[in-house]
Amino acid sequence: QVQLQQSGTELVKPASSVKISCKASGYTFTSNYIHWIRQQPGDGLEWIGWIYPGNGDTKYYQKFDGKTTLTTDKSSSTAYMQLSSLTSEDSAVYFCARGMGIFGFAYWGQGTLVTVSS
Amino acid sequence: DVVLTQTPVSLSVTLGDQASISCRSSQSLEYSDGYTYLEWYLQKPGQSPQLLIYEVSNRFSGVPDRFIGSGSGTDFTLKISRVEPEDLGVYYCFQVTHDPFTFGSGTKLEIK
């Protein structure tokens, strides 16, 4: 069965960077887009961008461009999202998700809580 | 950016009754291929969101037929007939027609 297993909670300092992971299993990793979604505390959902593991193509919501870098490691079927120049605004739960095709996020990771605090 | 306005913000429903959630878009969500890429998700307390509906009215595998999506252009509705306890949570509409893809602000369904 398709599973997306995300890395654990991160407590990081302002101005630093963090890299969170999303390990995929149960399907051919290179065949489906991986999307990333943010949920700030007590708030709604916000789409960040996608990466296509087959060729590394990426697309970012302009708001997150420069803040976010999406990569994959095909050898371990893992997608990564790096967030840089962290501020308290970046404190959130970050989800990875896989679509049925490109969209239709049928499969989600459990979420990774990132807390930015000195 | 396309703005999706969901109403109501919250909804309190008696078990067995019907619930209806509206999602209005600031632009038509019909894509040039003729399809309309509007999805609905439910986020239960403490969980990741789950896909209910894609392309306006197609139920995802395993989603009960109590969930009915409808609409076109800029106006969309999710109806939940015969509400059950496991339906509580926050419902989000989500459009993938226009870049960037955007979510509605959510509708919280509570059980009376």
| Nearest residue to A99 via CA among A2, A20, A6 | A2
Indicate yes or no: CB of B51 within 8 angstroms of CB of A62. no
Q: Indicate yes or no: CB of A103 within 8 angstroms of CB of B43.
A: no
Question: Which residues of chain B make contact with A47, given a CB cutoff of 8 A?
Answer: 94, 100-103
Interface of A with B (CB under 8 A): 37, 44-47, 59, 61-63, 95, 97, 100, 102-106, 108-111
- Residue closest to B6 by CA, chosen among B26, B28, B23, B25: B23
Establish how many alpha carbons lie within 13 A of residue A77's alpha carbon, considering only the half-sphere containing its beta carbon.
Answer: 15
What pLDDT digit, counting tens, does each position of A28-72 carry? Answer: 999 999 999 999 998 999 999 999 999 999 999 999 988 999 999
Residue A28 has which token pair? Answer: 């051919």
Residue range B44-62: average pLDDT? 97
Residue of B nearest to A109 (CA): B48
The answer to whether B106 faces chain A, any CB pair under 8 Å, is yes
Find the mean pLDDT for residues A20-24: 98
What pLDDT, on the 0 to 100 scale, is given for residue B110?
Answer: 96
Nearest to B51 among A61, A104, A110 (CB): A104
pLDDT of residue A49: 96
pLDDT at position A103, please? 87
pLDDT at B48: 98
Lowest mean pLDDT among A46-55, A100-109, B2-11: A100-109
Q: Determine contact: B76 vs chain A, CB below 8 A.
A: no
Contact B94 A45 (CB under 8 A): yes
Please give the pLDDT value at position B74.
98
Give me the residue from B39, B49, B96 closest to A108, CB to CB: B49
Residue B98 to residues A90, B19, B26, Cα–Cα distance (Å)? 25, 28, 11
CB burial class (10 A; 0-12, 13-18, 19+) of residue B77? middle
Confidence of residue A102 (pLDDT cuts 50, 70, 90): confident
